[in-house]
Copies of this chain bind each other. A is one copy, B any other.
Amino acid sequence: MISLHGHPSGRHFLQIPGPTNVPDRVLRAMHRATIDHRGPEFGGLGRAVLQGMQWVFQTRSPVVIYPSSGTGAWEAALVNTLSPGDRVLMAETGHFAALWQRLATRLGLDVEILEGDWRHGADPARIEARLAADAGHRIKAVCVVHNETSTGAVTDVAQVRQAIDRSGHPALLMVDAISSLGAMDYRHDEWGVDVGVAGSQKGLMLPPGLSFNALSERALRAAASARLPRSYWDWSAMLALNEGGYFPYTPATTLLYGLHEALDMLRAEGLERVFARHRRLAQATRAAVRAWGLELVCQDPAACSNALTAVLMPDGHSADALRKVILDRYDMSLGQGLGRWSGKIFRIAHLGDFNDLSLCGALAGVEMGLAAAGVPHRPGGVQAALDYLARPAAGLHEKG
């Protein structure tokens, strides 16, 4: 596989919204001999990362760690809490919401979709109305994606919670926080989320291979009577062994080493500062997009993602052609358009282990790529980002 060895000079710019750039510290932490997953040393590691994940989710409820990709954690959320034929209300905010729906359908659930235009977050008012109309409480769960990775539009989870509460409906609230956790504020307990779903390869700065369910008391009660068949994803065996820091089957040890290190890094920076840094980089990116005269996919200014920015191509121009030019000339990977946005948008991730100067390099690659691909735009996007980032605002860019 020559290509893995024959890369061009300098560092590849990986600006897809996950997997994100793995910090050297995390790679180093994973470069370590495997240990006995039933031995005493492992228990300490297990307890530390389980507690650390509670801290990241901002919850006192247990967090379950799976050796799987994030898709597995979607499945786990459903099979642990629901029974065949149960109705779930799912807000279709974009491609990943649609994939979660398809997964639910395959598992034998009765999926009711709140359609969306893939340019906004989920609408709390519509959720409230729908639940209010469900007098028989046939709906067992409401599922929303916090940060829709395919569009860069954010759902206000706190408002969804309030909508559910106002409707007096007992449905569980399940939230996909896959691309928000560790990048944007996610408050599992305060927002009353019942199952939070996350993965390792976004704000947690790890390679893919771990996924997470953050639980609640209500979710655990639901699990006691849920009848979808489950074994690998079953919470109960997990929780029993997690007490001692162990797992019911062989965990992905090296990724847990990496998680331990990533948690250390997040703790050292502080969640508040992590979120502020993402906000700052996102604002600089949006300033660049505006300066180029291009249009954001997300149409709600209050809901624009701090993890990634999705940009609409001018009519008649292919986002994939642009991405190819940028990859070939400037060695940068951007996110592609997914589902109905295929070929029509590109996505710039500013997520994970990332900073001002790397963002400037990434935006420079986009601006030069737009020119090289003949995409109509105004120059000056990088300059606009510089102007934003050079402001002495908020002390965010001071070294800790």
Q: Which residues of A contact B (CB under 8 A)?
A: 1, 3-14, 16, 18-22, 24-25, 27-28, 30-41, 44-45, 48, 66-72, 75, 84, 102-103, 106-108, 199, 201, 207-209, 228-232, 234, 248-255, 257, 260, 264-265, 268-269, 274, 277, 327-333, 336, 353-362, 364-365, 367-368, 371-372, 379-380, 382-383, 386, 389-390, 392, 397-400
Q: A5-B25, A8-B399, A251-B69 are in contact. Are A372 and B357 (CB under 8 A)?
A: no
**Residues B336 and A364 in contact, CB atoms below 8 Å apart:** no
11 pairs, A vs B, C-beta closer than 8 Å: A6-B268, A6-B400, A9-B354, A10-B355, A27-B31, A30-B30, A35-B333, A67-B69, A71-B248, A372-B392, A379-B383
**Residues A207 and B252 in contact, CB atoms below 8 Å apart:** yes
A42 nearest CB neighbor, chain B only: B3
**Residues B367 and A364 in contact, CB atoms below 8 Å apart:** no
Query: A107: which of B33, B75, B231 is its contact (CB, 8 Å)?
Result: B231
**Residues B392 and A364 in contact, CB atoms below 8 Å apart:** no
**Residues A14 and B31 in contact, CB atoms below 8 Å apart:** no
* Smallest CB separation, A210 vs chain B (Å): 8
CA distance A382 to B386 in the complex (A): 9
**Residues B355 and A30 in contact, CB atoms below 8 Å apart:** no
Q: A75-B231, A250-B208, A328-B398 are in contact. Are A4 and B269 (CB under 8 A)?
A: no
Q: A33-B22, A329-B397, A390-B372 are in contact. Are A209 and B255 (CB under 8 A)?
A: yes
**Residues A107 and B229 in contact, CB atoms below 8 Å apart:** yes
**Residues A277 and B209 in contact, CB atoms below 8 Å apart:** no
A367 nearest CB neighbor, chain B only: B386
Query: A329: which of B38, B399, B400 is its contact (CB, 8 Å)?
Result: B399
Q: A10-B355, A277-B9, A353-B9 are in contact. Are A249 and B329 (CB under 8 A)?
A: no
- Give me the 8 closest cross-chain CB pairs, A-B, nearest first: A10-B355, A361-B361, A360-B364, A209-B252, A357-B361, A71-B249, A19-B34, A36-B333
**Residues A390 and B362 in contact, CB atoms below 8 Å apart:** no
Q: A9-B269, A48-B1, A250-B208 are in contact. Are A355 and B329 (CB under 8 A)?
A: no
**Residues A253 and B19 in contact, CB atoms below 8 Å apart:** yes
**Residues A356 and B333 in contact, CB atoms below 8 Å apart:** no
**Residues B69 and A250 in contact, CB atoms below 8 Å apart:** yes
* Smallest CB separation, A74 vs chain B (Å): 8
**Residues A36 and B16 in contact, CB atoms below 8 Å apart:** yes
* Smallest CB separation, A161 vs chain B (Å): 27
* Smallest CB separation, A390 vs chain B (Å): 4
Query: A386: which of B364, B398, B400 is its contact (CB, 8 Å)?
Result: B364
* Smallest CB separation, A71 vs chain B (Å): 4
Given A16-B38, A27-B33, 6 more A-B residue pairs with CB atoms under 8 Å apart are A11-B11, A28-B28, A70-B249, A71-B250, A331-B399, A380-B383
**Residues A229 and B34 in contact, CB atoms below 8 Å apart:** no
Residues of B within 8 A of A14 (CB): 33-36
Query: A250: which of B31, B37, B199, B333 is its contact (CB, 8 Å)?
Result: B199
Q: A361-B360, A399-B328 are in contact. Are A34 and B22 (CB under 8 A)?
A: yes
Residues of B within 8 A of A13 (CB): 357
CA distance A280 to B214 in the complex (A): 48
**Residues B355 and A368 in contact, CB atoms below 8 Å apart:** no
* Smallest CB separation, A112 vs chain B (Å): 18
Residues of B within 8 A of A365 (CB): 356-357, 360
Residues of B within 8 A of A208 (CB): 34, 37, 67, 250-253
A255 nearest CB neighbor, chain B only: B209
**Residues B400 and A201 in contact, CB atoms below 8 Å apart:** no
**Residues A355 and B3 in contact, CB atoms below 8 Å apart:** no
**Residues A397 and B354 in contact, CB atoms below 8 Å apart:** no
CA distance A327 to B69 in the complex (A): 34
**Residues B38 and A336 in contact, CB atoms below 8 Å apart:** yes
